[in-house]
A and B are shown apart, each in its own frame.
Chain A
Amino acid sequence: MPIQYYIYLALALFCIGIVGVLTRRNAIIVFMCIELMLNAVNLLLVAFSQMHQNAVYATNKVTSAGIEGQLFVFFIMVVAAAEVSVGLAIIVMLYRNTRSVDINFLNRLKN
C-alpha cells in the first residue's frame, strides 16, 4: 500500500482522539481517547518501519532495516500500560473525593 494511505488513516484516528478529548467531560472517556491517539501513532510507526524494510527488501531478503520502529511501538505499549494503571488510580481517587468523574470538578485545583 502507498504510505500516504497509512498517514491519512493515522491522522484521522488521531483527530478523532483530539475531538474526543476536547468534547467529552467524562474523565474515563477522555482517557480512552488518549489511548486512541497513542494507537494511531503506533500504527503509523509500524507502517513506516515496513516502508523502510521495503526500500531494501528487493536486494536483501534478511535485512533488519526498520526494526527500530516496531521496537519503539513495543516501548510505547509498555509506557501506555504504566500510564493507564496510574491514571485509573487517579480517576478512582477523584471519584472517591467528588462522587463524580466530571473533569470540570478538577478546576478546584486552582485554589
Chain B
Amino acid sequence: MLIKTVDLWKTYTVGTETIHAVQGVSVEIEKGEYVAIMGPSGSGKSTLMNLIGCLDSPTRGEYHLNGRRVSAMSDDELAYIRNKEIGFVFQTFNLLPRASALHNVELPLIYNGTSSGERIRKAKEALKTVDLEDRMTHRPNELSGGQRQRVALARALVNNPALILADEPTGNLDTATGAEIMELFGRLHREGNTIIIVTHERDIAIYADRIFYLRDGKVEKEEDVRHIKNSGN
C-alpha cells in the first residue's frame, strides 16, 4: 500500500469561524495506480492534496506514505519526504522564472545533495522523457504553456518519486495542449509511476483508473472508470 489515510481531518480557524475542510477521509491507493480526486470548488480537494503532498499536517487522523507515518512529522522531515517521495505538478506550473528549464529540473536534486555532474545527467534524462531535450537552455518565458508544464513534469520526475501529484495540471492550458499533457501522464503511468490528479473536470478525471468524488470534505463516492477508457474513448 503506497498511500493509506485513516479518518483524516483538517480544521482551520478563520477569525471566529471554524472550517472543517477535510472531514474524516479514509482512502487507500496502491503503488502504480492512476487516481483522480474530483470535486467542486470548496469541496476540500486542495486541502486533501496538500495533506497527501505533505505540504500540510492533518489536525486529526493518520497518513501513511510508502510505509512511513507522515502525519506526525516535523516541517523539515516533511520537506525531506516531499523531496524524496513526491513530485508536484501545479496548475500555474510554478517554475523559477529566471532559471533555465534544465536548472528548474535540477532543483529538487540540489536539495538532496546530488553532485553537479549527476544532477545535470538526471535532469537531461528527465527532460528527454518529456520530449524537451532541445529546450533545455530556455527560460520559462521563452516556452509555451504546454512546454512549461512538461518542464514541471520533468522536475516532478527527476528524483524518481513514489508519487506524482498534479493539481489541475491542465487548468491553464487550451484543450488540445491539455490533452497532450494528459497523454503524457498516461504514458508515465504505463511506465510504472503512481499518479494522483486533482481536478474539477470530469473530462480530465476519466484519464485516471479510479475517481474519488469529494464533497464537503468527505469522499462521497468512488468510481472505477477503466471501462470508459478501454471502450475506446
Q: Do A and B bind each other?
A: no
B residues in contact (CB < 8 Å) with A: none
Residues of chain A having any CB pair with chain B under 8 Å: none
